[in-house]
Structure 1
Amino acid sequence: MKLWIALAREAGWGHTLLLAGLALLASVVEVAGLGLAVGVLLGAGGAAGLPLPALSLDLRQLLALLVALMALRGLLQVGIAVLQEWLNSALTDRLRSDLLSRVLYASSLRLEQVGRGELLGLLMDDIDTSVYALDRGLQLLQSLISLLIYAAGVVLAGRGQAAPLLLGLVAAALAGLAQRSGAWQLGTLQTRLNAALQSIVGDGLHGLKAIRAATAEPWLLGRFSEAARDYRRNARRSLRREAVFGALRDWLVVLVVALWLGLGGTGLQPAAVATVLLLAYRAAGALGGVISSRRACLWALPGYQALRELRERLGTPVLAAAATRPLAREARLEAVRWQGPGQPAVDLRRGALVVLVGPSGSGKSTLLDRVAGLLAEEDSQWQLQVAGSRAPIELTGSAGAAAWRTLVAYAPQGAVLFEGSLADNLLLGRLPEREERDELLAPWLQRLGLEALLGRPEGLHGPLNLAVDCFSGGEIHRLGLLRAWLLDQPVELLDEPTAFLDAQAAATVRQLVLERSRERLVLVASHDPELVAQAAAVIRPAAFTRR
């Protein structure tokens, strides 16, 4: 109950109360239609021996009213369903946006605690399940209201008619006890299985080329089939238990009430007997709805619990610091000193190319990640020296790293491409006008020897299909460099900028690095002896673990 209340509070009490009001309206409309049908069955009131208030309507008028009420009920149900879906979709979108925001702005230390499958499972399935838990909790309320109305209707009709109702409710409760659901345990297992399934899918899409190159398709398909089989088996188990409960409940209700009536429990007329049986059946069905909704809510709530736990691990997004630049755009950044535990200070200054050297695995990329504020930022410090200012600007910790990254363009060694057009990949949403994009990108692509990309069928603006890599390693590497250069930041960090390139392409990239280092602060990790020879300073990272 505490977990469901937390979910309702997160949805917003206005949102939850509106959904509850819709549930109440649906119950009232349903019960009103049934009550009018009973009136028709009894011939306009108490003619069949029930002490119901007589209606001043004949049978034709009652039938016309019943048809009109059913039409109104249908329209209301459509409106209620549409509004409920709109409210639930809005909540789903808000939860997904919040989780993705936490991932994008989380510190590296917190991100190390998150698995890809866990994250994908929450984004794609468990958040939907969380919203479903809220909806099922409100459906429990709706069924409870219906139950009370049905019970009050029979009790008001007389003690003789209340007995079969009570027996029917007891039968429904016995059915619930006879078929236990284990809903919470099954829901928890479903959340774990969903994470495993999403992890396998992520592995397949991320490493498709490696899977195919190793002819390991059967291995991945086997993992997927096994996880999918467990997932569906657990879902079938939940469905089977609920279906058995529903069948057992309906059978017991009809059996108990029919036996009571058949053994002379009342002297009602046939129409009244049918009415009592109908009301008892509907009341027991409402009680079954209460039990089923509670079970469904319990089954779905572990997804919301997993979401809460993951958000707690990720922490609150550092949005304010990320949006605030540590210095004005027009200010001239002259020098930066980075300091972190276990490493000598890294000093960068405008016009001086600094190169990290060392054998593979010596920590060059790790040090670049730390200077960029992408790794171990909680223990890092940046001192920024701005032209015209004596006192340096100091940035520390996660908030400082978020602000520092607004000044940095970083080109990692393993560049990646995203779904979308080539222009979108390079500009990341900047320059919305197509003409501006063409004017900016075409000269760059030509200088980097990538003019052939302009002649591809999709050109700059057609979507790329990236299930299979459609670019060579050298092309992707140069596109990663270009993406960083197009950011036009005062600080540039480049990891192995001349790797994977032929002599001509490497010479072009080397020349661009030197040109840009004259007006910027540039730090490069490289094995390129020609680039190292032209550096103003060379750094050899001290040995340390990635953590």
Structure 2
Amino acid sequence: MSSALTETGPQPLPRRRQVQLLKALALEAGWRHLALLSGLSTLNSLLDIGGLGLAVTLLLGSGSSTDAAPLIGGLPIAASLGLLVGLILLRGLIQAQVDINRERLRSGFTDRLRQQLLHEVFEASSAQLDRLGRGELLALLMADINRTALSLDQAVRMGQSLLAMAIYLASVLLVGQATAWPLLLALLATTAASLLQRSGSWGLGRIQSRLNAALQRTVGDGLHGLKALRAATAEAWLLQRFARETAEGRWLLRERVRRRASFNAWRDTLVVAVAGLWMLLQGESLTAEALTTTLVLAYRASASLSTVVQARRLCLGNLPGYEALRQRRAQLIPRQGEASDLTITDDTLSRLSRQRWHQLQWSRRDDGTQSLDSLCLRANGLVAITGPSGSGKTTLLDRICGLLREEDSHWQLSCSGGGWSLSGLAGARQMHQLIAYAPQNAVLFEANLRENLLLGANRHQDDIETWLQRLGLAHLLQRQGGLDAPLALAQDPFSGGEIHRLGLLRAWLRDKPMEVLDEPTAFLDAKAAEQVRSVIRERTEQRLMLISSHDPELLAQADQVITVQPSPASLPATAQARNA
């Protein structure tokens, strides 16, 4: 078998680790819901025992009783039958309530975990996100969170079944009295053997977590790079990669089924042997009613044991999904605001997003490198960054926008109302609300065109249509459904130039006091590039504008040009500024 499926490294105190994870899982799910389910399950088991005893008494005692003769607690047989029917109906209603509450707990917990993880991803710093892969995040969202919810569900089922089994075994002792001790001890021994046996579910579950991440990486790469795969006729390579991952998954499934089947067969054989031996030893020491009721209760206890074992295996097999989730979330824990972080109030933030700025000064902490460590942007001026590919232009823009190494950045902005300072991760999050950034590689989402452009904002349709016409994209309005037509992106239905202009338009529709554009005329023909340059000239008169570009015409209209020079391999890029 592939070495990817072998457990590596020491595994100290695995049972203790399992108990710790189960405790954390229960705390996160909420004790109140679990306590309610336990109470309902206890009542359900008690009603089941009462119904079984009543049914056995009716079946074995009805031959010697009449309709009018007392049978149970002074009740005639008709009343006893009515009581039995009532118990059955009540137990059915309670069981339905148990199932409904279990599903409510599972589905609500799943939704909450997904929302929390997405929130933590959005709130994480760039340094934290650099440590996570796309496949790992997809595996968490699509598989491991489902496995976490299944582990919780099976843990609840296991607890309910353990409680029911304890009640059934206690009832065996009450009904059979002293003669039931051998049966009770044998069943307890079988229970202990069943629960203490190592099934390997924990190790297989950890393998499943790694396999999920590998599969998600393969599928994600295939969909994300579909055009590249076709162009390179590399479909066979990806299919072979997928086949390797799924082969390991099939082995994992077979191994689980094999272990479960052999274990269930051993357990059931042992329980039947114990019950049969007990019956032979008792002889005539028990009445028919007591013997029958005891055996029925013992059978129910055995069935509960079967449920406990199965639920335990499923719980442990899926619990590593929760372990992986906790590990990844620990990497995404939002950093608490440090003393060096500077922020502004929400009212000030809202006011600054609507006002015209006079100046923005960005600076970074001195980390001993020779890269640009400050930049001043003034109103009514275009600042352009240029330099060879790979010299760090996009990295510099990302840092200025608070999207990279935010912890080291400081922003000082001023307008007619005064000056304000922001810094650190908390300050960067507020700067995101004040800057409109159009990255070089725009990303479209599988939503309609309106939502892709506004991303939840509210702009009049006439504004959007006017912008599309000005940028040479009016033909997109002719599609069936217009702005509200969904975009199916598996086949990349737009050209690179169209996607790039849509990314610029998305930034311009935000209408922020500062705009940052990365290679705004890249991927465009001469006409489209001139349209973009015209828009930039106009918007420079109204706000702070920062761009990176290789376009000589765009650089010629800049008021300040910063040339980023690549440095030797041992040093970062350096920057030189000159006035245009």
Match of 1:143 among 149, 155, 161: 161
- Contact 1:169/1:284, CA 8 A, preserved across alignment: no
Corresponding residue number in structure 1 for 2:103: 85
Between the aligned partners of 2:264 and 2:52, the Cα distance in structure 1 is 21
Cα distance in structure 2, aligned partners of 1:387 and 1:113 = 42
Structure 1: stretches of 5+ with no match in the other structure: 48-52
Structure 1 segment 193-208 matched on structure 2, within 5 A:
193-208=211-226
Cα 1:270–1:128, aligned 2, differ >3 Å: closer, same or farther? Answer: same
Query: CA separation in 2, counterparts of 1:187 and 1:322?
Result: 47
Deviations along 1:204-254, one digit per CA (max 9) or x if unpaired, are: 121111112112222222222222232243234234323332232122111
Question: Which of 354, 362, 376 pairs up with 1:347?
Answer: 376
1:454-493 to 2 correspondences below 5 Å: 454-493=477-516
Measured in 1, the distance between the counterparts of 2:46 and 2:343 equals 51
Structure 1 residues 26 and 273, CA, compared in 2 at 3 Å: closer, same or farther? closer
Matched, 1:403 2:436: no
Structure 1 position 453, deviation (Å): 0.5
Correspondence for 1:238 among 256, 263, 275: 256
2:394 paired residue among 365, 373, 392: 365
User: Which residue number corresponds to residue 119 of structure 1?
Assistant: 137
3-state SS, counterpart of residue 17 of structure 1: helix
Q: Which residue of 2 aligns with 1:416?
A: 443
Offset at 1:99?
0.5
Once the two structures are superposed, what CA deviation does each residue of 1:266-291 show, in whole Å capped at 9, x if it has no partner?
Answer: 54355543333222222233334334
1:164 aligned to 2:183? yes
Query: In structure 2, what is the Cα distance between the partners aligned to 1:28 and 1:268?
Result: 23
> For the structure 1 residues 370 and 104, does the alpha-carbon distance in structure 2 shift closer, same or farther, using more than 3 Å as the test?
same
One-letter amino acid matched to 1:352: G
Offset, 1:326: 4.1
3-state SS of paired residue (1:409): strand
Letter in 2 for 1:526: S
Q: Is the 8 A contact 1:352 1:536 kept in 2?
A: yes
Equivalent-residue separation in structure 2 for 1:529 and 1:193 (angstroms): 50
Structure 1 pair 193/323, CA: closer, same or farther in 2 (3 Å)? farther
Q: How does 1:266-415 map to 2 (within 5 A)?
A: 266-269=284-287, 272-316=290-334, 324=346, 326=349, 328-329=351-352, 330-340=354-364, 341=366, 342=369, 343-344=371-372, 345-389=374-418, 392-415=419-442
Residues 191 and 451 (structure 1 numbering): CA distance in 2 closer, same or farther, change over 3 Å?
same
Aligned residues of 2:360 and 2:376 also touching (Cα < 8 A): yes
Report the CA distance between 1:77 and its aligned residue. Answer: 2.2
SS of match in other structure, 2:561: strand
Task: Pick from 171, 176, 198 the counterpart of residue 153 of structure 1.
Answer: 171
Residues 124-179 of structure 1 show CA distances to partners (whole Å, capped at 9, x for unaligned) of 121122222223222222122212211221211211133223223323444556x6
Change (3 A) 1:126 1:35: farther
Q: Which amino acid aligns with 1:79?
A: Q
What's the CA shift for 1:327? 6.3
- Which residue identity lines up with residue 183 of structure 1 in the other structure? S
Cα–Cα, structure 1 residues 427 and 312, in superposed 2: closer, same or farther, change >3 Å?
Answer: same
1:50 alignment counterpart: none
Task: Output the CA distance in 2 between the equivalents of 1:306 and 1:24.
Answer: 33
Match of 1:508 in 2: 531
Cα root mean square deviation, aligned: 2.6
Asked if structure 2 preserves the Cα contact closer than 8 Å seen for 1:353 and 1:535, the reply is: yes
Q: Could you tell me which residue of structure 1 aligns to residue 231 of structure 2? A: 213
Q: Which amino acid aligns with 2:356?
A: R
Instruction: Report the counterpart of residue 107 of structure 1 in structure 2.
Output: 125
Which residue, out of 90, 95, 100, partners 1:72? 90
CA 1:349 to 1:28, structure 2 compared with 1: closer, same or farther past 3 Å? farther
Measure the CA separation in 1 of the matches of 2:319 and 2:544.
51
Q: Would the alpha carbon gap of residues 76 and 232 (structure 1) be closer, same or farther in structure 2, given more than 3 Å must change?
A: farther
Alignment partners' CA distance in 2, 1:75 and 1:321: 56
| SS, match of residue 182 in structure 2 | helix
Pair 82,494 (structure 1): closer, same or farther in 2 beyond 3 Å: same
SS at match of 1:464: coil
Greater shift in the superposed pair: 446-455 or 151-160: 151-160
Say if 1:454 and 1:278 are closer, same or farther in 2 by CA, change over 3 A: same
How many matched pairs?
A: 534
How far residue 508 of structure 1 moved from its aligned partner, in angstroms, is 0.5
Query: How far does the alpha carbon of each residue in 1:419-455 deviate from its partner, in whole angstroms, 9 at most, with x for none?
Result: 1100110011222xxxx64212111000000011111
How far apart are residue 45 of structure 1 and its match?
13
Shift of residue 311, structure 1, vs aligned partner? 1.2
- Work out whether residues 172 and 252 of structure 1, in 8 Å CA contact, stay in contact via their aligned partners in 2: no
How much does 1:530 deviate?
Answer: 0.4
1:17 to 35, 38, 55: 35
Deviation (angstroms), 1:321: 6.5
Compared with structure 1, are the counterparts of its residues 83 and 171 closer, same or farther at alpha carbon in structure 2 (3 Å cutoff)? closer
Structure 2 contact 147–319 (Cα < 8 Å) conserved: yes
Shift, 1:41, TM fit: 3.8
Change in 2 beyond 3 A, CA 1:504/1:511: same
Alignment match, 2:8 = none
1:466 Cα deviation after fit: 1.1
Cα distance in 2 for residues equivalent to 1:191 and 1:118: 9
- Structure 1 residues 437 and 500: alpha-carbon distance in aligned structure 2, compared to 1, 3 A threshold: same
- Paired with 1:397 and 1:2, the residues of 2 have a C-alpha distance of 35
Equivalent position SS for 2:199:
coil
Does the C-alpha gap of structure 1 residues 123 and 35 become closer, same or farther in structure 2, counting only changes over 3 Å?
Answer: farther
Aligned mates of 1:306, 1:454 — CA distance in 2? 45
Distance 2:113 2:540 in 1: 43
Structure 2: distance between partners of 1:36 and 1:132: 36
> In the alignment, is the contact (CA less than 8 A) between 1:181 and 1:238 conserved in 2?
no
Distance in structure 2 (CA, Å) of the matches to 1:29 and 1:240: 36
Corresponding letter in the other structure for 1:346 = L
Letter in 1 for 2:511: D
Fraction of identical pairs, as percent: 51
For residues 277-326 of structure 1, what are the alpha-carbon distances to aligned partners after superposition, in whole Å with 9 as ceiling and x for unaligned? Answer: 22222223333433433333222221112111111111127899799464
Q: Which residue of 2 aligns with 1:450?
A: 473
Give the gaps of 5 or more residues in structure 2.
1-18, 66-70, 574-580
Is the Cα–Cα contact under 8 Å of residues 150 and 315 in structure 2 kept in the other structure?
Answer: yes
Q: Which amino acid aligns with 1:169?
A: L
- After TM superposition, the structure 1 stretch with the greater mean CA deviation from structure 2, 18-27 or 509-518, is 18-27
Deviation at 1:118, TM superposition (A): 1.2
Among 524, 539, 553, the residue aligned to 1:530: 553
Contact kept in structure 2, 1:102 and 1:317, CA below 8 Å: no
Aligned pair partner of 2:274 in 256, 261, 265: 256
Partners of 2:49 and 2:297 within 8 A in 1: no
1:496 aligns with 2:515: no
Distance in 2 separating the partners of 1:17 and 1:70: 24
The whole-number CA distance in structure 1 between the counterparts of 2:560 and 2:290 is 98
Per-residue CA deviations over 1:69-115 (Å, capped at 9, x if unaligned) read 32332233223212221222112111110110110121000001111
SS at structure 2 position matched to 1:420? coil
* Pairing partner for 2:456 from 422, 425, 429: 429
Contact 2:344-2:420 within 8 A present in 1 as well: no
Q: 3-state SS of the aligned residue for 1:209? A: helix
- Whether 1:517 and 2:540 are equivalent positions in the alignment is yes
